[in-house]
Amino acid sequence: MDIQFPMLQVMDPNGQITASEYKEKITEELARKFYRQLVRIRLFDRKAVSLQRQGRIGTYAPFEGQEASQVGSALALNESDWMFPTYRDHGAAFVFGHALRNILLFWNGRNEGCVPPAGKKIFPPAIPIATQIPHAAGAALAEKKKGTNHAAIAYFGDGATSEGDFHEGLNFASVFKAPVVFFNQNNQYAISVPMTKQMNSKTIAQKALAYDIPGIRIDGNDVFIVYFETLKALERARKGEGPTLIEAVTWRYGAHTTADDPSKYRSQVESNNRRLETDPILRLERWMKNEGLYDEKWVSEVESEVTQEIEKAVEEMEDFPPADPANIFDHVFAEPTWQIAQQKEEYLRFIGGEGR
């Protein structure tokens, strides 16, 4: 399967272009656009971990190490496309135009955090594993039936491919040629279980064979190949040729969530080595230096601007009006059932009396 589904790459860890057919497509403007977004979401991720440690947000799912997969794929989308993220794809959502304040509100347990800016089709982050995959297939089919040129992308991890929803979503999309890209970030661990213990498949891309759709395996730390292959898959979807499964092989440096200790099940030496050898930002920096395009002053300006943007979003999140716990009863059904109405009434009596 490694022969049938080879790891595609444009830029190696030393920043050298290994696929000459892409060389003319890689411009300074494109590289700078990628670099800004890579730095933007990494600094946000580190800030979010810090906020959690200080008790200013709740449990958080970090993604440091997976930035190229999220940036390259999100930038390939059109403004009118759909995005179906998991709980680890807030970097992609941020790049696609989600409000950073709302992303932080989500991690602070607020319903408002699930609301994207007007006009953006960003589904609320899926916490249950793989449930967003059939949703993405359905939304894509709806766009096809409406005659639009809009596509959808569904993000998920390697563990999600062991769930029934994954197979149902791919089967449905394959049968009806739904314009959807199934984007797997294979960080090689489903929580604490390595890929070798959760499946006998040598690759995730090969799972596309069962549904007679293209399965592509790419270097998920190479932002160039992620971008170009996602673009290709989206173009195929828009032409009515159906879905594509992309396996982006990457690595998450830190914990599954801030409630996890990865040292219990994974070598931290390997993570440290990968940070030095295959890091997506370091790789792009090496390419820029090889091309004589790396500008320390510009990089410093980017980091400063992004830091200010993040700090402003944190202030906005913390200045947000306090949540009303009674809201939990208002969004269970379109119209409250008598049981829900009764529970809300009892809650309001409780906080208005001895429960206050």
Q: Which residues are the active-site residues?
A: 252, 256, 265
**Residues whose CB falls within 8 Å of the CB of residue 337, separated by 6 or more in sequence, listed in order:** none
How is residue 280 written in tokens? 């997506």
d(CA 304, CA 141): 42
The structure tokens listed for 276 are 């030095």
Q: How many other C-beta atoms lie within 10 A of the C-beta of residue 49?
A: 18
Tally of helices (H runs) and strands (E runs) in the chain: 12, 8
Query: Rounded CA gap, 60 and 48, in Å?
Result: 7
CB 71 within 8 A of CB 230: no
The number of beta carbons lying within 10 Å of the beta carbon of residue 259 is 11
The residue count for the chain: 356
Whole-angstrom CA distances from 50 to 21, 250, 258, 261 are 42, 23, 10, 16
